[in-house]
Structure 1
């Protein structure tokens, strides 16, 4: 079966170069999908408290014959549970819902600067990591100022920053920030919206004998970033993993760069409020 190569985080832990996203799947749907994803070869599973599907993800992990140590499980702290004490309790609740003793990666889902609790939440995560409840700690949707403040006030750099990332919103400046700080980038919504018929991507898919989706995912891995595609279709799951046996050349990447239209599909992290 296909499997993604491993990348090394800034704390020495390793993480698969492609993950399986689970939003907005619920309950039985997510359990079925994660079971299929694990059988297909995925070893990075991404969920969040706000997705309200952690029990289904946990059920799929329990049903799998794959050892827990061979699965990289990631979940996220929701906005309503930010703050030191709340974040501590929220992590314990996620572990219980997932039916695991630890998660490989725990992320602050959004910075929510109006609440101004992300530093206190980060301190709680640092403590939980020392206790062994989390292997790596990171953030999601953080901008440069948020990252700099975390590092300045705690001395601990996030291992990961998961951001919206697709060919028409390539986040060039944030990729550079993450790289400068030694933070690995993950990309949510890596296939964007309405891009499968884009003429540039169709041309490249014909050139490489791949689907437009595979072209976009390979582009993400070459940035480098970890894309988190989601699908309930086992054939598409497999295709989304089978992207490491070809390479986009400089001309391909230059053509894709022209697709940048600053087309943000999700919230702006400086103003977005998530509870």
Structure 2
């Protein structure tokens, strides 16, 4: 793990590569300055969603940055309120217009809360949009093994990515293991526990490495093979969250963080992985 750097990527089943560190823009109503700062810090992976209502701001940041479209990996997602074949096709066109892009690098079903029929209709629409060149890689978020098996049982292509809440208090080991066995890359949202980092184990490890707790948590995620998606609107924090490639957590410190797992009770977000 010591040879990872900010340019490190993971190969997806789609054939495309995904930068190992992403930048989240959830609850960021003025995302353009934050995304521009993230680009300055070296991030090349931005995680947005239709329900965040900032796709246009992300697109504007890219155009202002001087970076080319091909240098940056952009994600969006469709939430359950807009699931269904026709609605999803229209929403993808809406996202493309909002971003001002010709394609979206990764498009996810944001949650599984619409029920089996709509989930599968939504997946069919996303695959068709991918085949039409509007999306490069297809994935899901907050899906359990049951939801993923529905896709397999329907005879459709499996997702390349599953984005779930992952941090030491909420490790979701069953779905992580399922994804690993099936070649599905796991992205970690809420990797710094929404700032709830005062636990003595996290603090003591941060002190040991002369790092801030957020850096310890992001490094934990990377060393587990996840793709963490930290978010911040604070320039100093945006930069420090990216400075996680010049140290490695020792095995005993990884184990100490692993032992903090509280299962679903450790979640700090909506975490609908167990939904029907």
What TM bracket, shorter-length normalisation? over 0.9
**How many angstroms does 1:13 deviate by?**
0.8
Residue 65 of structure 1 corresponds to 66
Which structure 1 residue ranges, 5 or more long, are not aligned?
Answer: none
Q: Of residues 262, 267, 272 in structure 2, which corresponds to 1:264?
A: 267
Residue 133 of structure 2 corresponds to 132
**How many angstroms does 1:38 deviate by?**
1.0
**How many angstroms does 1:144 deviate by?**
0.4
SS at match of 2:117: coil
Instruction: Kindly report which structure 2 residues correspond to 1:59-208, keeping only aligned pairs within 5 A, or say none.
Output: 59-114=60-115, 116-193=117-194, 195-208=196-209
**How many angstroms does 1:270 deviate by?**
3.8
Asked whether the 8 Å contact 1:114–1:271 carries over to 2, the reply is: no
Residue 6 of structure 2 corresponds to 3
**How many angstroms does 1:241 deviate by?**
1.0
SS at match of 1:58: helix
SS at match of 1:178: helix
**How many angstroms does 1:193 deviate by?**
4.1
Distance in 1 of aligned mates of 2:65 and 2:153: 41
SS at match of 2:66: coil
Distance in 1 of aligned mates of 2:275 and 2:114: 7
* Runs of at least 4 residues off by over 3 Å: 113-116, 269-272
**How many angstroms does 1:4 deviate by?**
3.9
**How many angstroms does 1:58 deviate by?**
1.3
Distance in 2 of aligned mates of 1:246 and 1:164: 24
Which structure 2 residue ranges, 5 or more long, are not aligned?
Answer: none
CA-based RMSD of the aligned residues comes to 1.5
**How many angstroms does 1:115 deviate by?**
6.4
Residue 19 of structure 2 corresponds to 16
The C-alpha deviation readout for 1:32-74, integer Å capped at 9, x for no partner, is: 1111111111100010001111111111112120110010000
Asked whether the 8 Å contact 1:144–1:174 carries over to 2, the reply is: yes
Cα pair distance change 1:172/1:270, threshold 3 Å: closer
Cα pair distance change 1:225/1:266, threshold 3 Å: same
Instruction: Kindly report which structure 2 residues correspond to 1:196-235, keeping only aligned pairs within 5 A, or say none.
Output: 196-235=197-236
Distance in 2 of aligned mates of 1:114 and 1:160: 20
Distance in 2 of aligned mates of 1:98 and 1:85: 20
SS at match of 2:273: coil
Distance in 1 of aligned mates of 2:89 and 2:214: 38
SS at match of 1:107: strand
SS at match of 2:154: helix
Distance in 2 of aligned mates of 1:79 and 1:148: 19
Residue 240 of structure 1 corresponds to 241
> TM-score, normalising length from structure 2?
0.93
Distance in 2 of aligned mates of 1:92 and 1:47: 15
Residue 46 of structure 1 corresponds to 47
The C-alpha deviation readout for 1:93-151, integer Å capped at 9, x for no partner, is: 00001110101000000011536311111111111111111110000000000011112
